[in-house]
A and B are shown apart, each in its own frame.
Chain A
């Protein structure tokens, strides 16, 4: 147990959440090893974002437990939650950048509001984060003046400026074309190794996730139906995993059947 809690930075057990009568998380459990990049896959509406928001304390789960670095994050334990927030960052699907602040001010904000660093130190650390993410030249621009990819990088700079141990990524590639999806996953993998944080990513982009992740999990109907390495995922014979993994082949079969139907119809006529 001791060795396990040392290895696991985050442990989620039986998380349950429902909105009115709609059960979104139905006993979801997940282990996130320290220093790894773990991706939670799932269809749209499977409960991925709710899982992440429960972790980030944006949504309060109805039941279940979350252990961070071996410590239970319970509602009553304010110090444990404060410690978790200090050591964890959240990257929103929408980036959630402050549109009335410049790129530099956005990155400096968490340092200004959560640390006792001097103005000079804050500026230096913020510029360093922007430099590492190759946005230093755009420090005086507002988020609205940056491209989608730059905004994503800026959100990542803001997330890592406090040097967190865990970064949660909510659908970082949603709505992006394949080239940009690759670029975002490459960026996450690169900075995850460079800064040494543990990354938990939720997405439905299978190909990129299997290439970039150390471990993958599959969430379906509020439950984790698979947890393992990308190789184990590819080899899995579980029905849900197969459906998700082979969705492209299934589409090919469906299209082939449609085309065959058209061919038959034209022969009939």
Chain B
């Protein structure tokens, strides 16, 4: 029993070290990588534009629900005028970065893990190496650098749409004066809140994309399965671990910044 726990702990430490080296290698590979700009733009398109519909839809519904629930709770205390404060701070500090990251994990992260897994399975990654092309520089670095830009932008979009959703709920559907709603948003949100939001978005982007890339890239190392099942297993692991790490990192960052 003790031996099994020890072996499991060692394997986690080993994997963490391996993941850190993988991410470091991806950043190091940016130095001297050819035509990196183009690949970053392409990766940004894949992560950003393709995820746009889901970000808009989920952002709108999150704002609508927050507006609805917040209005009824605040109404009990006669504080409906604070609806803008509740919606804006909830979205900017917590829900925006976390939910946008989870949406991106589901859309861009899973696609990345599966794509790299298949490329590993079909020897496309080995082919790059035999050509003298760094597979990290070609496949991972552009995605990682694009994520550092795209995630904050998607989060900002999520928050903006969410605020409009809250306004739609509170003002249009429940009769709160729009000016009251937007005025309380303006008074509540401070530069520190926006900074916290950006820090979280950048951190989540870095963690999730590197984790999804790590699992896809190493699909051949999957001990429990081979071939297509290994790709499926590594994609599942990538999505599950990324989702957990987003929420864990959210708690850690919040506890340091609040």
Q: Are B126 and A82 in contact (CB under 8 A)?
A: no
* Interface segment out of the listed B131-139, B160-168, B228-236, B237-245: B131-139
Chain A neighbourhood of B138, CB < 8 A: 113
Chain B neighbourhood of A116, CB < 8 A: 34
- Given known contacts A94-B123, A96-B123, A113 and B34 CB-to-CB distance under 8 angstroms: yes
Q: Are B131 and A85 in contact (CB under 8 A)?
A: yes
Question: How distant is the Cα of A113 from the Cα of B39 in the complex, in angstroms?
Answer: 11
8 A Cβ contacts from B117-142 to A:
119, 122-124, 126-133, 138
- Given known contacts A112-B34, A113-B138, A92 and B129 CB-to-CB distance under 8 angstroms: no
* Distance of B11 from chain A, by nearest CB (Å): 19
Chain A neighbourhood of B124, CB < 8 A: 96-99
* Distance of B29 from chain A, by nearest CB (Å): 12
8 A Cβ contacts from A31-68 to B:
56-58
| Residue of A96, A97, A162 with most chain B CB atoms under a 10 A cut-off | A96
Question: How distant is the Cα of A124 from the Cα of B203 in the complex, in angstroms?
Answer: 43
* Distance of A115 from chain B, by nearest CB (Å): 8
Instruction: Say if the beta carbon of B76 comes within 8 Å of chain A.
Output: no
* Distance of B46 from chain A, by nearest CB (Å): 11
Chain B neighbourhood of A57, CB < 8 A: 129-130
* CB nearest neighbor in B for A114: B132
Sampled A-B contacts (19; CB under 8 Å): A57-B129, A58-B126, A58-B129, A86-B132, A89-B131, A92-B123, A92-B126, A94-B122, A96-B122, A98-B127, A99-B124, A110-B132, A112-B35, A113-B34, A113-B35, A113-B128, A113-B131, A114-B131, A114-B133
* CB nearest neighbor in A for B138: A113
Chain A neighbourhood of B123, CB < 8 A: 92, 94, 96
Question: How distant is the Cα of A92 from the Cα of B127 in the complex, in angstroms?
Answer: 8
* Distance of B125 from chain A, by nearest CB (Å): 9
Q: For chain B, give the interface size range.
A: 10 to 19
Q: Told that A85-B130, A94-B123, A114-B133 touch, could you supply 17 new A-B pairs with CB distance under 8 A?
A: A57-B129, A57-B130, A58-B130, A85-B131, A86-B132, A88-B130, A96-B126, A98-B124, A98-B127, A109-B131, A109-B133, A110-B131, A110-B133, A113-B131, A114-B132, A116-B34, A162-B131
* CB nearest neighbor in B for A90: B130
Chain B neighbourhood of A82, CB < 8 A: 132
Question: How distant is the Cα of A162 from the Cα of B132 in the complex, in angstroms?
Answer: 11
* CB nearest neighbor in A for B126: A58
Question: How distant is the Cα of A162 from the Cα of B119 in the complex, in angstroms?
Answer: 22
* CB nearest neighbor in B for A87: B132
* Distance of A81 from chain B, by nearest CB (Å): 9
* CB nearest neighbor in A for B35: A112
Chain B neighbourhood of A109, CB < 8 A: 131, 133
Q: Are A113 and B130 in contact (CB under 8 A)?
A: no
Chain B neighbourhood of A96, CB < 8 A: 122-124, 126-127
* Distance of A104 from chain B, by nearest CB (Å): 16
* CB nearest neighbor in A for B134: A113
* CB nearest neighbor in B for A100: B115
* CB nearest neighbor in B for A168: B130
Q: Are B132 and A90 in contact (CB under 8 A)?
A: no
Chain A neighbourhood of B127, CB < 8 A: 90, 92, 96, 98
8 A Cβ contacts from B129-159 to A:
129-133, 138
| Residue of B34, B122, B132 with most chain A CB atoms under a 10 A cut-off | B132
Question: How distant is the Cα of A114 from the Cα of B35 in the complex, in angstroms?
Answer: 10
| Residue of B124, B131, B133, B138 with most chain A CB atoms under a 10 A cut-off | B131
Question: How distant is the Cα of A165 from the Cα of B133 in the complex, in angstroms?
Answer: 18
Q: Are B122 and A99 in contact (CB under 8 A)?
A: yes
| Residue of A82, A98, A116 with most chain B CB atoms under a 10 A cut-off | A98
- Given known contacts A90-B127, A96-B127, A113 and B133 CB-to-CB distance under 8 angstroms: yes
* Distance of B45 from chain A, by nearest CB (Å): 13
Chain A neighbourhood of B35, CB < 8 A: 112-113
Write the B172-204 contact mask toward A (1 if CB under 8 angstroms, else 0): 000000000000000000000000000000000
* Distance of A14 from chain B, by nearest CB (Å): 23
Cβ-closest 10 pairs across A and B: A85-B132, A96-B127, A90-B130, A96-B123, A113-B133, A110-B131, A56-B130, A58-B126, A92-B123, A114-B132
Question: How distant is the Cα of A116 from the Cα of B33 in the complex, in angstroms?
Answer: 11
Question: How distant is the Cα of A96 from the Cα of B131 in the complex, in angstroms?
Answer: 12
* CB nearest neighbor in A for B123: A96
* CB nearest neighbor in A for B125: A96
Question: How distant is the Cα of A211 from the Cα of B59 in the complex, in angstroms?
Answer: 67
Question: How distant is the Cα of A187 from the Cα of B35 in the complex, in angstroms?
Answer: 33
Chain A neighbourhood of B119, CB < 8 A: 98
